[in-house]
Amino acid sequence: MITFNRFKQLFTHSLIATSALTLVGCAQPLSTSKTSTYSNVDNFTTPFYQHTRPYTQTNPNKTGFYPLGDGQAALLARLTVIEGAQKTIDVQYYIYRDDATSNLLTWYLYQAAERGVRVRLLLDDMQNRDDQALASLSAHPNVEVRLFNPFGNRSFKPLSFLTDFDRLNRRMHNKSIIADGVFAITGGRNIGDEYFSANNSVEFGDFDLLMMGEIIPQVSRQFDEYWNSKPATPIEALVSSAHEPTPEQLTQWKQAQLKYMTTDYARSLKNHPMVKQLINQTLPLFWTDAELLYDTPYKVANSKDNQLLHKLSEMIAKADHDFFLVSPYFVPTEEGAKELAQAAKNGKNITIVTNSLASNDVFAVHGWYAKYRKIMLEGGVKLYEVKVEPGQKTKHKWLSHSRTSLHAKTFIIDKSKIFVGSFNFDPRSAYLNTELGVIVDSPEFSGQVYNQISDSMLKEAYRLSLDENGDIVWNDDVTGKQYTSEPDSSMWLKMGAWAAGVLPIENQL
């Protein structure tokens, strides 16, 4: 159990003291130079280090972690570690939106820089962003912003694919935050309203870990490797000029955040159960062995440099009796589907939870996954597809970010080891994108997650099976209804998914 008062105080302060924050800015000249910097800083005097030391000393060579299973807790944890940092904050994401929760998190980063914290922000360049806004943030003397594998055409990025497709098709999918070299958060979430239960039209079911202890230096080394790599480009090299926001802009920004903190969503944060646990000093931590797995940043230049895939494959092959997978994008390939089916025939309990066609707007992914369902079901693999939320509106796009109700990426081996990270079980994660994740060796935690997901599947997912004719049927075990075609999906959507499964695009999914 975690009982350090300082962390509790910082957490509470991050919720109620926003109005007390002040802004001071200093001009910074334009610079396009790139200097290598590293995470190793003297953090022995920081409150984070001092208040976690009793726990790390009690659990030497172990990692303590707290699961962030819902969106509000995930946002609260991020705001807390940013608010409490005194030395360094490193932030690394694939998607970092320009919406309410993203702007709030950026505000906290700016405030950290104002009190002297060094902030390094590394973002993949796939998402369209305002380069000038990022340059203004980076102009702060304590902030550096770098874009990973940037596009040459800053006005209309898709044009760059015409001449540089192979490079630009490979993206940094890693997600991490490290504060003072003491706390880290990693998992499946990007930064945006839909990941933090703040979007009225869709909410992603996702999963992160708040961690301390033995694994933190590994997360920091991973960040340094990406930050200092050749594909990581300072934002100043991509814009014509950079200057800090004007006092008027800062005042407007501050007022916007203060207004947001009075919304129903922001007020509800203070009533989250995690707040009560911190106030009562009862936030539970699991202490166990953990290992960080990640691809090198140079996977974007060499598709064979897929270290994480090899590590995961080795671990899955060692499963004795049970393999439980949750993946929003699941494209096993024909070879993978046959291997899973054979493992089930050999007596292993194989369970796959993924999105249904209706809950997945990237129908090209579903089209290729659907080609292999029958192979797996015939072999005895248990397949579950998440239901679309009642009344939820989705905009189905060809290849885009997912707006589904499932975004978590995790698997459990023999109810004793669990992987949490950014890796989707599809060719893109395996061969094109860089990925990051944590293997936690804890039968207690693995069993807990296994049981929670198993219970939720009964009401939140369709169970697939084969009828007497060998055709796929979708079973709703809550209502007892059975469907003979993709439930909750229009004819046009079914046709689009089928057509996508015919096109030779599997290795891009």
CA-nearest of 82, 98, 265 to 185 is 82
Instruction: Assess whether 414 carries a catalytic annotation.
Output: yes
> Which position among 124, 125, 193, 414 bears the catalytic label?
414
SS3 track for 21-82:
CCCCCCCCCCCCCCCCCCCCCCCCCCHHHHHHHHHHHHCCCCEEEEEECCHHHHHHHHHHHH
| Chain centre to alpha carbon of residue 170 | 17
Distance CA 169, CA 508 (A): 9
Distance CA 84, CA 206 (A): 24
Distance CA 83, CA 109 (A): 8
> Which position among 62, 173, 366, 387 bears the catalytic label?
173
> Which position among 366, 407, 417, 494 bears the catalytic label?
407
Distance CA 26, CA 312 (A): 47
> Which position among 125, 180, 361, 426 bears the catalytic label?
180
The two three-digit tokens of residue 133, written as one number: 């806004």
> Which position among 8, 62, 87, 175 bears the catalytic label?
175
Question: Are residues 297 and 434 in contact, defined by beta-carbon separation less than 8 angstroms?
Answer: yes
- Name residue 208's beta-bridge partners: 68, 187
Instruction: Assess whether 401 carries a catalytic annotation.
Output: no
* Residue 362 identity: V
Instruction: Give the H or E element holding residue 349.
Output: strand 349-355
Instruction: Assess whether 407 carries a catalytic annotation.
Output: yes
Instruction: Assess whether 175 carries a catalytic annotation.
Output: yes
Length of the chain: 509
Instruction: Assess whether 180 carries a catalytic annotation.
Output: yes
Strand (E) positions, 380-476? Answer: 382-386, 410-413, 417-421, 436-441, 461-466, 472-475
Instruction: Assess whether 322 carries a catalytic annotation.
Output: no
> Which position among 8, 409, 415, 494 bears the catalytic label?
409
480 φψ region: left (φ > 0), alpha (ψ -120 to 50), beta (else): left
Distance CA 140, CA 351 (A): 49
Active-site residue list = 173, 175, 180, 407, 409, 414
